[in-house]
Amino acid sequence: MSTSTPPPTTDHGFELTKRRRWPWIVGGAVVVVGVAAAITVPLVTTSTSANEIEGATLTVVTAEGNAAEEALVEFVAEEVAPKYGISVEFRGLSDSTTLNSAVSSGEVAGTIYQHKLWLSQVLDANPDFRETAATPVFRWGFGLWSDKYADVSEIPDGATISLYSDPANEAQGLQILETAGLITLDDSIDKSYATQDDIVENPKDLQFVLLDFAAQSRALPDLDAAVGYTEYYLAAGIPIEQQIYAPTAPDDFAGQLTVGTDYLDTPNIQNLIAAFKDPAVQEFLATDPTVKGILLPLDQ
């Protein structure tokens, strides 16, 4: 889900922002744009998708370098998929457009890279893609972080808090702040699409800074607090104790097994969906140290 980001400058590019349009869709430190004609993913050399071939190996992809998601796919491949008569392998791909293009075209079987809102933004940006969120699989660890304050109640008036710079995860961050009692969002809106313009109460006069995934965690010493994914903070060497508030993420932000819509009813894909729904997957998420705190069971 991430790519390396140069260390932030001393001002970290901070810009106080109240409203942004959504011309670019940013997630997992990548930018989704319309499908470039030059993009190809040579994962399948035959004209028939492996999704349609009995006994073929089904490839499940995520962004390169995501160890937790790779561990989950490999667990399913080794421990669960054989029960459903399928063979599964993991592969990392470089960016979101390439990854979703491969799923849509049937060059790979699916991905667990994204939540439903992120997928909807991908499809809006790439109308030729045909993908379906087939089943929720896990929740990402996501919460409020601070190295200055140990409790939400300590956050002072005028505090600077970072949200992610992509629309879907900014909305998730705003919902975390509302749940924490720091702001109030307009109840008449769909809060999964909330922006800062939808804040109707901000009693502490909080100021908001928009940063990307890796930059936010590195900038934590210069902020009062930040709302972000656990994996980026742990990767930056920030102890979990600095996550001062972490409620259950809304259902719209659960990680989904996404498959190509044209292959949804094939036996291979139906068996792949069944494998990811197997109770053993939730047990793995609850107990395996590789994913602990990063990928959470759906009931957590």
Q: What is the CATH number of the domain that holds 228?
A: 3.40.190.10
Q: What is the pLDDT of residues 157-171, one digit of tens each?
A: 999 999 999 888 999
Q: Bigger pLDDT: 250 or 263? A: 263
Number of domains in the chain: 2
Tell me which residue of 206, 13, 14 sits closest to 196, measured CA to CA: 206
Q: 263 and 272 in contact (C-beta within 8 Å)?
A: no
- Which domain range does residue 74 map to? 46-140+252-296
* Same domain (yes/no): 165, 232: yes
Question: Which residue type does 135 have?
Answer: T
User: Quick one: which of 110, 140, 2, 112 has its CA closest to 65?
Assistant: 2
Question: Is residue 6 a part of any domain in this protein?
Answer: no
Q: Are residues 95 and 120 in the same domain?
A: yes
Tell me: do 87 and 210 sit in the same domain. no
Q: Looking at residue 95, what is its pLDDT?
A: 87
Query: Residue 136 contacts by C-beta under 8 Å, 6 or more apart in sequence?
Result: 251, 254, 255, 256, 257, 298
What is the bridge-based pairing of β-strands 110-114 and 57-63? parallel
pLDDT, position 14: 28
Together in a domain, 152 and 115? no
Considering the domain architecture, whether residues 133 and 270 belong to the same structural domain is answered as yes
pLDDT value for 128: 97
In this structure, is residue 155 part of a structural domain? yes
Task: Please report whether residue 259 resides in a domain.
Answer: yes
Residue 126 counted as domain residue: yes
Shared-domain flag, residues 152 and 80: no
- The answer as to whether 208 is a domain residue is yes
Domain identity same for 163 and 75: no
Assess contact for 176 and 167: CB atoms under 8 A.
Answer: no
Instruction: Tell whether 1 is covered by a domain.
Output: no
**In a 10 Å sphere around its CB, with 0-12 CB exposed, 13-18 middle and 19+ buried, how is residue 264 labelled?**
middle
In this structure, is residue 31 part of a structural domain?
no
Given a cut of 50, is residue 24 above it in pLDDT? no
Whole-model pTM: value is 0.78
- The fraction of the chain above a pLDDT of 90, given in percent, is 75
Is 63 a member of any domain? Answer: yes
What would the pLDDT profile of 214-248 be if each residue is shown by its tens digit? 899 999 999 999 999 998 899 899 999 999 999 98
| Same domain, yes or no: 207 and 72 | no
**Residue pair 76/60 in contact by the 8 Å Cβ criterion:** yes
User: pLDDT band for position 15 (50/70/90)?
Assistant: very low
The number of beta carbons lying within 10 Å of the beta carbon of residue 55 is 9
Which of the two residues, 131 and 168, has the higher pLDDT score?
Answer: 131
Task: Please tell me the distance from the alpha carbon of residue 85 to that of residue 88, in angstroms, as a whole number.
Answer: 10
Predicted local distance difference test score (pLDDT) of residue 7: 38
